[in-house]
């Protein structure tokens, strides 16, 4: 397993993976590591695509992924990947997509364990009332990501 670090507008991201795919992408609040200069082709591809996303040049990712989790968690993460760029859905809507509205708490828990920050867009899931709830990377990052993906920027009226 290889680990690299890259700079993003939201902090240093740690990417982990190997030839089987990207296992984990996470954002760190503090780290004393410099961005990685040399890495494997698969991690370099992930780093490049993340940079394109943050530069506003990419809306989807084309990477080999290998997240570790239960079968249920993987189903939730797959469903998250179908949420279009610039759109949000509620935890309740996500539960309905997965076929069990009563599983909302389990769906929310699996969403919170998403190991592929940004690539599997768990930040696109919000509360039923439109509130920004439950984001492991911090609500300030969730807000930034949703604003970054919003194709229509609100202008002030005054």
Look over the chain and give the mean of its residue pLDDT values, rounded to a whole number: 91
60 CB-near residues (< 8 Å, 6+ apart): 85
pLDDT for residue 48 is more than 90: yes
The topology (CATH level 3) of 71-149 is Arc Repressor Mutant, subunit A (1.10.10)
- pLDDT in the model for residue 95: 95
Where are the domains positioned within the chain?
2-54, 71-149
Which of 79, 83, 119, 122 is catalytic? The answer is: 122
Region 144-158 average pLDDT? 77
pLDDT for residue 46 is more than 90: yes
pLDDT for residue 155 is more than 70: no
User: Is the full-model pTM beyond 0.85?
Assistant: yes
128: how many CB neighbours lie within 10 A of its CB? 12
39 is catalytic: no
Using N-to-C axis directions, what is the helix angle for 71-80 and 104-112, rounded to 10°? 80
């Amino acid at each position: 397993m290889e680990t690299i670090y890259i700079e993003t507008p939201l902090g240093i991201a740690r990417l982990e993976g190997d030839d089987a795919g990207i296992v984990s992408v996470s954002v760190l609040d503090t780290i004393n590591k410099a961005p990685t200069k040399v890495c494997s082709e698969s991690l370099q591809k992930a780093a490049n695509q993340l940079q394109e996303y943050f530069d506003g040049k990419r809306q989807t990712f084309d990477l080999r992924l290998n997240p570790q989790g239960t079968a249920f968690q993987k189903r939730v993460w797959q469903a998250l990947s179908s949420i279009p760029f610039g759109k949000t859905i509620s935890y309740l809507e996500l539960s309905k997509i997965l076929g069990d509205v009563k599983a909302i708490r389990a769906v929310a828990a699996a969403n919170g364990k998403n190991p592929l920050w940004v690539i599997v867009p768990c930040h696109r899931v919000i509360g039923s009332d439109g509130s920004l709830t439950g984001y492991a990377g911090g609500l300030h990052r969730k807000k930034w990501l949703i604003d970054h993906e919003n194709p229509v920027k609100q202008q002030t009226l005054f």
